[in-house]
With several copies, the nearest count.
Chain A
Amino acid sequence: MAALPDLYERMRFIRRFEETLLDLFSQGKLVGTTHTYIGQEANGVGVIDHLDPEVDVVFSNHRCHGHYLEFTGDAYGLLCEVMGRAPGTCGGKGGSQHLCKGNFYSNGILGSIVPVATGIALAEKQKGTGAVSTVFLGDGALGQGVVYESLNMASLWRLPVLFVVENNHYAQSTPIELELAGSIPARAEAFGICTAELDTTDVEEIHAAAGRAVSHVRETSEPFFLVLHTYRFSPHSKGDDTRDPAEIEERRTRDPLLVAGARLDSAEREAIDARVEERLAEVVAEAEAAPEATPEAAVL
């Protein structure tokens, strides 16, 4: 179980990694698309710290870099993957949204990952591994019916799935009021699933609540539905942002890095920040030096 400096460092690394990606994009060193985790770092770090990458499984979505970095620690593989370099996690085939390493998976079709994570939980339960299958989804993905099909099955079959909803109040350009009716936790409760709901950017609070959620799943082999209200500071993907800048600014006052950083003494924080820069610079340099993915690899 990580202590605050550690949690801060990981959040800081994700933040800077994502900012670096956006830079590389502007420089034309990346193509395709990317969805950054900037602003939501406390969720991924707070939840995944409770998981064991050797045993547990994570299925993530289009906004998966934060989850990936926290679960696998593999920044080099991810950066190479996004840059289309041969040492990328998936040899450049998957790119930003389609990652796989060890017990980590992601896919870019919203909602469709949820039944797969449910099936993973079923398999792990049958095998008796004790694994928790965690799936991350956004408020927008709650529009997809397979989510409810999965909640039903997870509840019926008492599967060890942790559903984590990161409600950042937008689906691409669409504010939540235009895409979601009723209550998020009630949607899981209706299927007889235990829920918890947090509206905070405080990684320690999230960490504590997530700890309870993961324990519940692990101990009872029952699903749990954790709703984390959050916000992203960066645009949906790389480009245009139609949100009110004042709204974003207001949210920035509750930046999870500020909240956690304020609890560290400034020397420690600066040392961490410096370490992060150093590590990141190394990763970027290595990735830039790595060979491009070669067409031969794409041939079956």
Chain B
Amino acid sequence: MSATTQRRCVQVLNEALHELFATREDVVLLGEDVLDPYGGAFKVTQGLSDAYPDRVLTTPISEASLFGVAAGMALRGRRPILEIMFGDFIALGMDQIVNGIAKFREMYDDQVTVPLVVRTPMGGRRGYGPTHSQSLEKLLLGVPNVCVVAASECHDLGALLVHAVEDERPVFFIENKLMYGRPSRRPEDGHIGELAVREAGGEYPALTFSGNAFDDASATVVTYGGMLPVVLDAVTELILEHEIFCEVVALSQLLPLDLDPVLESVARTGALVTAEEGTLTAGVGAEIAARVSELAWSDLRRPVRRVAARDGIIPSARTLEDAMLPRVEDVIDVVLALEGVRS
């Protein structure tokens, strides 16, 4: 294993923050418990306040206002990075997001921009219970004029974060709790593990994975963020146990949605499955399914299927949580259930 692949994702993000702070004077970071030696609940900001005491601000527990404070700073030429300790707490900021952050540029007739980044971890599988395990990025998809980026361990996390900070738009940078501890896995020689990978798109690219060198495949699975490893395990098992090949598209930009890589893959495979960790209804998969059904109507041999968490709370007990969140088997089952799947 090379040095690159051994860095954990939390470290990659942390280094990107250090790089940003070193290169841009206007970057500031604020959030709860972000100071050293604690360095944030998930340790992403470690070392930052020691190095840049004036540009790292630990805050009271006032999420609603923090979004507003970051917006005010962004309006006045700073590049604030707001760390929200758990993604579940973005609900506290919805008014500032919907009625402020997302509106200022357009309603003020392009006289201003709001270049802020909200970094926050989503996702369950740690037994944190109903209010600390959700994948709420879905709540942001209906908000025009913001950008939602969902990092995965196979993306160039550092580059994504740097782009987010340099973006003139407000960017919600969704991290994942389990991802932090995993090794960053970047393509080497066009491969990650056994799978061939292509990277395409702009600043927040999508990765397309294939187990058979982009030859005929049975279906495309589109996913993002913390759900990617689950999907990769599923497609690997589909190859090994069922000799079924799927392509996987891992998006990093959820809003605005750029579905070109998905459409290209669907043109090859004729079938699409969406997979996300959030609850099913009105999830990312809904918008993707609606768009792809319309844009790739003639390519699709069967309806788009969605894999997601059940519509309900995320229980604390691991047994219950496991049953509620989408698993490797769920992805496999849906692919196998696609009528006439090529094998």
Interface residues of A (CB under 8 A from B): 31-33, 57, 81, 84-85, 88-101, 105, 107-124, 126-127, 133, 140-141, 143-146, 149-150, 152-153, 156-157, 171-174, 178-180, 240, 242, 292-295, 297-300
A-contact 0/1 string along B47-91, CB 8 Å cutoff? 000000011011111111111111111111110100000001100
**A99 CA to B89 CA in the complex, in Å?**
19
**A40 CA to B325 CA in the complex, in Å?**
36
A-B contact pairs, 22 of them (CB 8 A): A84-B127, A84-B316, A84-B320, A88-B317, A98-B129, A100-B108, A100-B109, A101-B111, A109-B89, A116-B71, A116-B75, A117-B72, A120-B76, A121-B72, A123-B78, A141-B61, A143-B60, A145-B62, A145-B64, A293-B317, A295-B324, A298-B312
Instruction: Determine which residue in B61, B103, B322 has the highest number of CB atoms from chain A within 10 A of its CB, and name it.
Output: B61
Cross-interface CB contact of A100 among B57, B111, B313, cutoff 8 Å: B111
Interface of A is mostly: mixed
B138 within 8 Å of A by Cβ?
no
Q: Which residues of B contact A121 (CB under 8 A)?
A: 72
Q: Which residues of A contact B192 (CB under 8 A)?
A: none
Q: Which residues of A contact B63 (CB under 8 A)?
A: 144
Q: How many A-B residue pairs have CB under 8 A?
A: 249
B315 touches A293 (CB 8 A): yes
**A92 CA to B75 CA in the complex, in Å?**
21
A-contact 0/1 string along B24-38, CB 8 Å cutoff? 000010001101011
A-contact 0/1 string along B313-339, CB 8 Å cutoff? 101111111111000000000000000
B112 within 8 Å of A by Cβ?
yes
Q: Which residues of A contact B89 (CB under 8 A)?
A: 109
Q: Which residues of B contact A57 (CB under 8 A)?
A: 76
A122 touches B61 (CB 8 A): no
**A125 CA to B120 CA in the complex, in Å?**
26
Q: Which residues of A contact B130 (CB under 8 A)?
A: 93-95, 98, 108
Q: Which residues of A contact B260 (CB under 8 A)?
A: none
Q: Which residues of B contact A141 (CB under 8 A)?
A: 61
B61 touches A95 (CB 8 A): no
**A126 CA to B57 CA in the complex, in Å?**
12
A140 touches B61 (CB 8 A): yes
Cross-interface CB contact of A179 among B61, B88, B92, cutoff 8 Å: B61
**A157 CA to B103 CA in the complex, in Å?**
27
Interface residues of B (CB under 8 A from A): 28, 32-33, 35, 37-38, 41, 54-55, 57-78, 80, 88-89, 92, 95-96, 99-100, 103-104, 106-109, 111-112, 126-132, 310-313, 315-324
Q: Which residues of B contact A149 (CB under 8 A)?
A: 60, 62, 64-65
A192 CB to closest chain B CB, in angstroms? 13
**A166 CA to B111 CA in the complex, in Å?**
28
List the 4 shortest-distance A-B pairs measured between CB atoms, nearest first.
A119-B72, A95-B316, A115-B68, A84-B317
Cross-interface CB contact of A145 among B58, B65, B100, cutoff 8 Å: B65
Cross-interface CB contact of B112 among A100, A143, A297, cutoff 8 Å: A100
Provided the pairs A84-B320, A88-B317, A109-B95 are in contact, do residues A118 and B68 lie with their beta carbons within 8 angstroms? yes
